[in-house]
Structure 1
Amino acid sequence: MKLNKKRLATAILTFFTGFGAMAQMPAEAPMPAPADYFLFPIKPGERNYLSGTMGEIRSNHFHGGLDIKTDQRVGLNVHAAADGYISRVKQSTYGYGNIIYVTHPNGLVTTYAHLLEFYKPLADHMLQQQYEKQTFELELFPEPGQFPVKRGDVIGLSGNTGGSGGPHLHFEIRDKDDRLYNPLRYTFKEVIDTTPPDIYSIGIAPLNIHSRVNNAFERAELRTKKVGNNYTLTDTVFAHGLLGLELQTIDRLDGAANKNGTQEVTLFVNGEQLYNHYIDRVPFELSRQVSQHINYGQYRRRGSTFQKAFVDHGNDLPLYKANGSDGRLKVQPDSVYQVKLLARDSYNNTSSLSFTVKGQKPAFTQTRSAAVKKPSINYEILGNVLRINAADTSATPKNIELFVGGEELMLVPSYVHNSVAVGLYDLRAGLPDSMRFCGLSTSFGLEQLVPPAQAFQFRNNYLKLSFDEQSLYDTLYLQTSLENGVFTIGDYFTPLHKAMKVTLRTDTTGIDKSKAAVYFLGTGRGRGFTGGKWEGNTITFYTKNMGKFKVMEDTKAPSIRLISKSRNGISFRISDDLSGLNSYNAWIDGKWILMKYEHKQATIWSEKLDKNIPLSGEFILKVKDNTGNEAVYTTRI
């Protein structure tokens, strides 16, 4: 393959510039409080079960604490884990729902989320403030002496509010810097775990153009075989070059079928530790970097969670202990590597996966397939490498014509598998315009190499992108398109850390811009309201997603349906079919009345400030969506 060496050198320099020193810390720091400091917050002294543990992989964050089961119901007493004072309290229909933060004398903070109710003094104070501020969604920061608590005090009732998927208590331990600690480090006797983690699969990914896994430039995913309490692979792996290992592992606790997070992964090669991660002390503001801790593309495509056993570019999480290669395995020809991966849970139950990697120099191989009936060509981008797959019926592999900046390059296939010739090209040598094979031509649409770790702007005739210096984890080979009103920016499988600013230029003929906004389309039929600010025929918004966007109008008001009404209270079901609900307010005889909202049931209901005064008079409910459409419901009580 012909490369422009000057262009490649410049690209490589750009690629590596901007990465700061990787945060490296010991795998397990000293505990910030004695092991018996905290009381278990649900049924202390009794056997408890967990549905979630610290470090589980969620869509855009690590799970930050424990999900404690509450007998599949709401209303269990929630106890303060230690002496302290309520320093923060919030009521919301999303996220943590109803949550209490308790600050302790040693500076640690415990949180109690998804509550059904706060204990009475706090609940009364919250209700008073909601009426004063005329809002349901409210966050307060009480003074240290305002709501003191003692270890074991009942501070609320367990519930299912906010973003929870069922009744439970979400319990966290944080420090003053909002770093999340693993609560199970405090060895609560209420939770029993003698079950080691499960190891399902190993992923082996080539990390540069010279890498191969079983003589192919593609990620291999291999199922494990359990032998006793440990795991192995049925075959030896033949490989070459720089590789990244990924582990699919979950943990189970005794007496529960839930798939929980595995706390620690360690990689040994020929008896030497190459890498370790221990999920603890996760900075709240960096939790989104879970996207680089895992194989994000596999998670988005299939929902499978493969944790990387190396520190990837742009990952600043302080969870790792790795050698100078950040855990990457460099395989030399004719060498043998005994690989062992350990998965350990919070109770030190450990499973191991052992297998052999043999170094094998890349060689041209060719296999045929009768299934290939006519030529075809496609491509994919893997890291910095453009991989071209050219299918052909001929016995002799043909070269692929690649056009880069007006130059024609003849790309010689690296190997042929089932009549598909694979050609590899390093994109840092210059972005190709198009390719040709057996009379078939394809344009790439690669518009810009966007470097990570620096602010960068890109524009064409239908959009403008502004990347923050922390938007990208790694180099982005940008592709955009506009087709039938759908703007495509990169792809759904590329993660962003910080938001990018996007300005779309669109035809506004016949559009009511007061009702039009940007929606994120994802991969299915969902439409997520993103918003945007209009200026002429452009609309600007911020997003942490790459993929498809469309400007759409919402001219339909929300729907309101009465559920029940009496002098004690009134309730409704409310919904909106596109932009989503923005606000809701109610009055009775002209006086504002609190309406509580639970989005999972799409239900709102009244709560009186004075429970002794019956509702009486004209009741008015107004509900607005995110584009200002308003629905009004009027009745008499």
Structure 2
Amino acid sequence: MWISTSLNLLFIICYKCKGKIGFFTSTSYICSMMKRIFGLCFLLPQLLHAQLPGKNYPQGYFRNPLNIPIQLAGNFGELRPNHFHAGIDIKTQQKENLPVHAAADGYVSRIGVSHVGYGNVLYITHPNGYTTVYGHLNRFFPALEEYVKQQEYAAESWATDLKIPAGKFPVKKGDFVAWSGNTGGSAGPHVHFEIRGTESEKPLNPLLFGFDIPDSRAPDVYRIAIYDMDKSLYDQTPQMVPVKKVNGEYVTTQAVIPVKAAQAGLGINAVDRMGVAPNSYGIYEVVLFDRDVPNSGFQLDNIAFEDSRYINAHIDYKTKKSGGPYLQLLFSLPGNKLDIYKDVQGDGVLDLSDGKPHPVKLLVKDAYGNTSTVKFSLQHSGEPAAVPACANTMYAESRNIFENNQVEFFMEETALYDQICFNYAELPSTPKSYSATLHLNTPLIPVHNYFTLRMRPNKPVSAALQRQIVMVREGLGEDIAGTTYENGWFIAKFRDFGNFHLEADTIAPKITSALKNGVNLSKAAKLVFSISDNSGIKSYRAELDGHWLMFSRKSNVITYTFDEHCPAGAHTLKLTVTDVAGNTGTKTFTFTR
């Protein structure tokens, strides 16, 4: 279609130029004209459609995994702490134990059980090259539940990740496979549903597969942010510009916005909506137009798990962690490896150096094509932008090392997203500390992967106490890590900057229950205990009459549901809980059935 449109345009241009292009017209002039015409022809599809390329996923192949209409609590690509949401969260009417069904023919290929993440999760592999995932389940269908239980007892571990042989549990589209729940890292009853490429294991956007979810509402846009591309993202505070809706389009209050940056980049604060539901969702796509020419954009149709933490490079992390809004960047930082960005006729950088008003347009879309348009103009003010001084610059895509007599750490090339001005200070120690408090930069700057941190104590540590030394990070929350000791240094791994110190943890974990020893539990359905520790739980183990007994875990509550592993009679239960410093707490409990 676009080719015929382009040929019509070519005819019109040639017609208008017929007085200029004659028999004696130079060949070079004609070639120059033709190059411009064909360049416009190749750009025309982008100008006409104004969207980034999408994927041709099968429509209608997968059914709704529930028997109620799909209402979303969260969508694919939604912004979450340290990750993009990898599927859709389907509401279950604030209930648990709704039947969950296979979305298409296939076989159960994997089962996961954990107190974090997806909790009880089921994977079904389909013959068309996709795998569906169902998370936060309470239980699997009876035959599968029994199989998983056997594997857990064989391994003496409730937490498990099982690969299932292809022919063991075949399913048909619509077969009952599980009961919905609230397990793992879930904050309320729902089903987390994903569609992945089977071979790549890359999560894909389920909303592109033709599910019947009514949505005619375009995204809401709240503000844009303007960045100086000649500076590091972390050496500046963006220029925030609110927008308002006028005659169906978003515009800025000031028609032409003065900008100090000669080379500018943009961020956007926007959410998607669906009908009258109060939920806000992640946007799917943004296309940036520079003087009415599509420059670049991003599109969230698939994100690999190993790349999900790059969300901290896709957003303005510093602004978000400082209490500001989510700002999604329309340019890619040097250390950002996400492939969601699509360069069309540019790379997201706007050249304002000519000092003239510069019209900009943004098309903000959801997965169903509902679109909001944002229009404004930028103009370089001519004011020089201040360049901050820095005594210790660290760079993205470079190995960065810091060391002195008190501390050493080393970061791989992939640790930073943009260059940073690294700050270090030694702060006074606290009475319970075994080191000075060391300020290693600010937690407002993200780190992509773990770095090894070595700290030297400032007072003697006995050999018996060495294994109980933990390293504590403070700043935007607290992290505590167990350490190893090597030639006078205590070593741990962290993934955030902050203030660090060494501390001794000699307190064993606590195990509590309202039940008293010797109680008769003949009519009880389960045993429930709370476990807690000041540095964090590393592991737990339960033994009934000397044999391993399976307790599930939700947060810091462990539960055993009575079954054939606890017959009638008198019993002794021993619980052992270990923390990250190696301290062990035990509780012995007697009861009868």
TM norm structure 1: 0.78
Q: Retained in 1: the 8 A contact 2:114–2:160?
A: yes
Q: What is aligned with 1:224?
A: 243
Give the 5 Å matches for 1:158-173: 158-173=180-195
Amino acid at match of 1:326: D
Supply the distance in 1 between the matched residues of 2:531 and 2:439 (Cα, whole angstroms).
Answer: 29
Give the superposition deviation at 1:47: 2.5
Q: Which of residues 60, 69, 72 in structure 2 aligns to 1:36?
A: 60
Q: What is aligned with 1:502?
A: 453
Give the superposition deviation at 1:635: 2.2
Q: What is aligned with 1:310?
A: 331
SS at structure 2 position matched to 1:619: strand
Q: Which of residues 96, 113, 122 in structure 1 aligns to 2:144?
A: 122
**Deviation readout 1:457-477 (Å, 9 max, x if unpaired):** 331121111111211222232
Matched, 1:630 2:592: no
Matched, 1:354 2:379: no
Give the direction of change, closer, same or farther, for the CA distance of 1:303–1:210 in structure 2 (3 Å limit): closer
Q: Retained in 1: the 8 A contact 2:232–2:419?
A: no
Gaps of 5+ in 2: 1-50, 430-435
Q: Retained in 1: the 8 A contact 2:334–2:397?
A: no
Give the 5 Å matches for 1:102-501: 102-175=124-197, 176-189=199-212, 191-208=213-230, 219-235=238-254, 236-239=256-259, 240-302=261-323, 304-323=325-344, 325-362=346-383, 424-425=386-387, 427=389, 431=390, 446=391, 448-483=392-427, 484=429, 485-501=436-452
SS at structure 2 position matched to 1:171: strand
Q: Which of residues 451, 467, 478 in structure 2 aligns to 1:514?
A: 467
Supply the distance in 2 between the matched residues of 1:55 and 1:459 (Cα, whole angstroms).
Answer: 39
Give the direction of change, closer, same or farther, for the CA distance of 1:209–1:584 in structure 2 (3 Å limit): closer
**Deviation readout 1:67-118 (Å, 9 max, x if unpaired):** 1000011111111111111111110001111111111112211111111111
Amino acid at match of 2:55: P
Supply the distance in 2 between the matched residues of 1:63 and 1:28 (Cα, whole angstroms).
Answer: 21
Structure with bigger helix share is 2
Matched, 1:538 2:459: no
Supply the distance in 2 between the matched residues of 1:285 and 1:254 (Cα, whole angstroms).
Answer: 33
Give the superposition deviation at 1:608: 4.8
Q: Retained in 1: the 8 A contact 2:549–2:565?
A: no
SS at structure 1 position matched to 2:245: strand
Q: Retained in 2: the 8 A contact 1:340–1:353?
A: yes
Give the 5 Å matches for 1:27-66: 27-32=52-57, 34-43=58-67, 46-66=68-88
Give the superposition deviation at 1:173: 0.9
Amino acid at match of 1:516: I
**Deviation readout 1:489-517 (Å, 9 max, x if unpaired):** 12101111222221111224256222211
Supply the distance in 1 between the matched residues of 2:562 and 2:147 (Cα, whole angstroms).
Answer: 14
Give the superposition deviation at 1:586: 1.6
SS at structure 1 position matched to 2:369: coil
Supply the distance in 1 between the matched residues of 2:489 and 2:355 (Cα, whole angstroms).
Answer: 59
Matched, 1:67 2:89: yes
Amino acid at match of 2:215: D
Q: What is aligned with 2:40?
A: none
Q: Retained in 1: the 8 A contact 2:533–2:579?
A: no
Q: Retained in 1: the 8 A contact 2:102–2:176?
A: yes
SS at structure 1 position matched to 2:307: helix
Gaps of 5+ in 1: 1-25, 212-216, 364-413, 415-423, 432-445
Give the direction of change, closer, same or farther, for the CA distance of 1:615–1:133 in structure 2 (3 Å limit): farther
Matched, 1:560 2:522: no
**Deviation readout 1:417-459 (Å, 9 max, x if unpaired):** xxxxxxx3365xxx4xxxxxxxxxxxxxx3x332322334331
How many residues of Structure 1 are paired with residues of Structure 2 in the alignment?
A: 522
Give the superposition deviation at 1:595: 1.0
SS at structure 1 position matched to 2:200: coil
Q: Retained in 1: the 8 A contact 2:76–2:87?
A: yes
Q: Retained in 2: the 8 A contact 1:97–1:115?
A: yes
Q: Retained in 1: the 8 A contact 2:535–2:579?
A: yes
Supply the distance in 2 between the matched residues of 1:224 and 1:194 (Cα, whole angstroms).
Answer: 22
SS at structure 1 position matched to 2:448: coil
Amino acid at match of 1:295: D
Give the direction of change, closer, same or farther, for the CA distance of 1:615–1:210 in structure 2 (3 Å limit): closer
Supply the distance in 2 between the matched residues of 1:40 and 1:229 (Cα, whole angstroms).
Answer: 34
Give the superposition deviation at 1:248: 0.1
SS at structure 1 position matched to 2:363: strand
SS at structure 1 position matched to 2:383: coil
Give the superposition deviation at 1:633: 1.6
Supply the distance in 2 between the matched residues of 1:614 and 1:303 (Cα, whole angstroms).
Answer: 58
Give the direction of change, closer, same or farther, for the CA distance of 1:615–1:449 in structure 2 (3 Å limit): farther
Amino acid at match of 2:266: L
Supply the distance in 1 between the matched residues of 2:335 and 2:381 (Cα, whole angstroms).
Answer: 30
Supply the distance in 2 between the matched residues of 1:457 and 1:295 (Cα, whole angstroms).
Answer: 25
Q: What is aligned with 2:39?
A: none
Give the direction of change, closer, same or farther, for the CA distance of 1:463–1:229 in structure 2 (3 Å limit): same
Give the superposition deviation at 1:209: 6.1
Give RMSD over aligned pairs: 2.2
**Deviation readout 1:381-400 (Å, 9 max, x if unpaired):** xxxxxxxxxxxxxxxxxxxx
**Deviation readout 1:239-291 (Å, 9 max, x if unpaired):** 24011110000011124111110011111121101111110121111111111
Q: Retained in 2: the 8 A contact 1:562–1:571?
A: no
Give the superposition deviation at 1:221: 0.6
Give the superposition deviation at 1:218: 5.0
**Deviation readout 1:392-423 (Å, 9 max, x if unpaired):** xxxxxxxxxxxxxxxxxxxxxx7xxxxxxxxx
Supply the distance in 1 between the matched residues of 2:579 and 2:335 (Cα, whole angstroms).
Answer: 38
Of 535-544 and 109-118, the range deviating more from structure 2: 535-544
Amino acid at match of 1:425: V
Give the direction of change, closer, same or farther, for the CA distance of 1:612–1:465 in structure 2 (3 Å limit): closer
Q: Retained in 2: the 8 A contact 1:27–1:319?
A: no
TM norm structure 2: 0.84
Q: Retained in 2: the 8 A contact 1:518–1:549?
A: yes
